[in-house]
Structure 1
Amino acid sequence: MHPHTLATITTSVAVLTCILAVAGLHTYARGLAQRAELVARLSETSQDVSARRRRFHALDRRLHRTRLGRRLELRLAATGLNLTPGEFLAYMLGTACALWLLGQAALAPFFGPLAGLLGIWAMVQFLNWQRQKRIERFISQLPELARVLANATQAGLALRTAIALAAEELEAPAGEELGKVADQLALGATMDDAMDELTDRLPSRELTVLVTTLVLSNRAGGHVVSALRNLTETLEERKETRREVRTQLSQVTMTSYAVPVLGLGSLFLLNGVKAGALDRMTAAPIGQIAVITAFGLYAVGFALIRRLSRVDI
């Protein structure tokens, strides 16, 4: 072999070796940086978990095996509360026991079980109120969500990427819920399954329309940008309409809560005017029947007022 050719081959091999060494060092350094970032993220997660230690593990495990526990877990996920089904059930039973003892001490022994049932009803209503409040906040963010998705898809991004981008830009609860959808899509879930689970957590007509538009556009390959633009205008109009209706019905809503509060206050007033009156009244069966009937009528009145003031938009 000619010496000049041998020198050229040796130089080429040396240059190629240097290039590969530099590329290897760059890949190694990038891997170290990614590992350090992952360790930092995991340490932050462990700190968050340790800062919020879970209670009632045994009760939580038992509830996870039942249909009630799974439904309660889905309801808690929709409320955004940082509680497990076991914790909520334990707190609800504790509230019922406390109100039972308070009702016995403040009114009469007969009112203890009624106060306990009232505590369970109040906790369930609180859960529904938190869930409805989160749904309302999510609905108010839907026009902005549709606008972000329309801009992202118009820029050429895929729908999955647009959802992940919207999860980073939007505030809670829309950002959190879209983050869950993006995580499910990253793990291999289909768009239909991820969106169906989102509508199960936060059921509303507006979200159903948006999800249907996204799913059909993703499945059929339609003009998702124009559909989202039109949907944004519609959601803005529905948002203003819902706000006006809620303002008009605020007085009726307060009346529905004031009626049972007045009835409960009359019991304390009666017992305060004449001590022991409730004991003597509930000692006879006819008095117990009258009290239970009164509580039932107040509950029916509350339900009827709420039902008549409900307007489907």
Structure 2
Amino acid sequence: MNLALLLCLLMLIGGVWLMRRGVRDAQSERVVERLAEGQAQPVRVKMGIFQRELLRSGLRMPSWLAVLLLVAWLLVAFLAMVLGGWLALLIMLLGPLVLLRLLMMWQYSRRLQRMIGQMPQFLDHVVRSLKSGRTLGDGMLLSMESCQEPLHGAMTRTRKAVERGMPLAEAMEDFAELYERDEFHILAMGIAVNQRYGGNASELLNNLIGMIRDRDRAARQLRALTGETRISAVVLGGLPLAMGGYIFLSNPQMLLNMWEQSGGRLVLMVAFGLQVIGTWLLWRMMRSI
């Protein structure tokens, strides 16, 4: 008991230290951002995987709040280990990470679809700016400022990079690499070719608008034609979990007795592994449709 109290005290001290460090880092980041606003040189920032996923999904969280949640997560995991053993600790360590990853993937997919839906209006605004006499760079910046969310928030980083001195082609290429969509890569390539060799930018953008609308129409028709297949995949993936939950609620002693025996534990672990593999295969098949 004394050891558990000592570990809790050490984790609390470490949490307070991490919180203070997070607040100090957040203040330093704000100072660096204010100093960078006056720079006139190209700025390319290397991002970590977690920061990149947060930026793609549009989830925003202050540094101090992230540190606070991390400390709370570690404390809950430690309490789970004290009360439920190593299995509860493993669940508390892996469960939030899996849920956070799924949330980021869902938010990124949902945000990306809305951005693609706003691209024709955004490009049409650029074309009208070109016809009024503006340059391609000025038209892009003006359209970035006037477009709606979530495209406006996604383009903010690109617009600031251009205002700091980065060439428009490089900024759009960085934007395309971040969100990984063919439409964004085609736009970045078209801007790079136009700025290097010249040409009719309005015609290029009009063709891109037609391509985006055609792909969106084809995707909607495909989703309508494959709706029954996707529903069947969801049912097949969720049926074993539903049956397992029903057996555990109706007769929990059956599964608990199996878990207490070495052979039953092996059967349950193999069944869980097969369920994970089957769900992953169904998910891959659904993505390929």
Q: Same fold (TM over 0.5)?
A: yes
Per-residue deviation, 1:297? 1.2
Larger radius of gyration: 1
Instruction: Confirm or deny that 1:139 pairs with 2:119.
Output: no
Q: Give the aligned partner of residue 72 of structure 1.
A: 50
Structure 1 residues 69 and 184: CA distance shift in structure 2, 3 A = closer
Residue 156 of structure 1 is aligned with which of 133, 138, 155?
A: 133
Instruction: Confirm or deny that 1:231 pairs with 2:208.
Output: yes
CA distance in 2, matches of 1:249, 1:90: 44
For residues 1-313 of structure 1, what are the structure 2 equivalents within 5 Å?
56=19, 58=21, 70-83=48-61, 91=69, 94=73, 113-114=90-91, 117-311=94-288
Is the contact between residue 210 and residue 231 of structure 1 (CA under 8 Å) also seen in structure 2?
yes
Is the contact between residue 76 and residue 84 of structure 1 (CA under 8 Å) also seen in structure 2?
no
SS of the residue corresponding to residue 59 of structure 2 reads coil
Is the contact between residue 79 and residue 130 of structure 1 (CA under 8 Å) also seen in structure 2?
yes
CA distance in 2, matches of 1:294, 1:114: 18
Q: Give the aligned partner of residue 10 of structure 2.
A: none
Give me the identity figure in percent.
18
Is the contact between residue 136 and residue 201 of structure 2 (CA under 8 Å) also seen in structure 1?
no
Using CA pairs below 8 Å that are at least 6 residues apart, which structure has the higher relative contact order? 2
Per-residue deviation, 1:128? 1.0
CA distance in 2, matches of 1:122, 1:224: 44
Per-residue deviation, 1:176? 2.0
Aligned AA (1:205): D
When the two chains are superposed, the root-mean-square deviation of aligned CA atoms in Å is 3.5
Structure 1 residues 95 and 127: CA distance shift in structure 2, 3 A = farther
CA distance in 2, matches of 1:116, 1:251: 36
Unaligned runs of 5+ in 2: 1-17, 30-45
Per-residue deviation, 1:83? 2.2
SS of the residue corresponding to residue 243 of structure 1 reads helix
Q: How many residues align?
A: 249
Q: Which moved more, 1:135-144 or 1:248-257?
A: 248-257
Per-residue deviation, 1:218? 1.8
Per-residue deviation, 1:255? 4.5
Deviations along 1:61-93, one digit per CA (max 9) or x if unpaired, are 6xx9xxx97211111111111225785687588
Is the contact between residue 164 and residue 179 of structure 1 (CA under 8 Å) also seen in structure 2?
no
Per-residue deviation, 1:248? 3.4
Is the contact between residue 146 and residue 152 of structure 2 (CA under 8 Å) also seen in structure 1?
yes
After the TM superposition, list the runs of 4 or more consecutive aligned residues in structure 1 that deviate by more than 6 angstroms. none
Per-residue deviation, 1:264? 3.0
Aligned AA (2:149): A
CA distance in 1, matches of 2:243, 2:124: 52
TM-score normalized by the length of structure 1:
0.67
SS of the residue corresponding to residue 157 of structure 1 reads coil
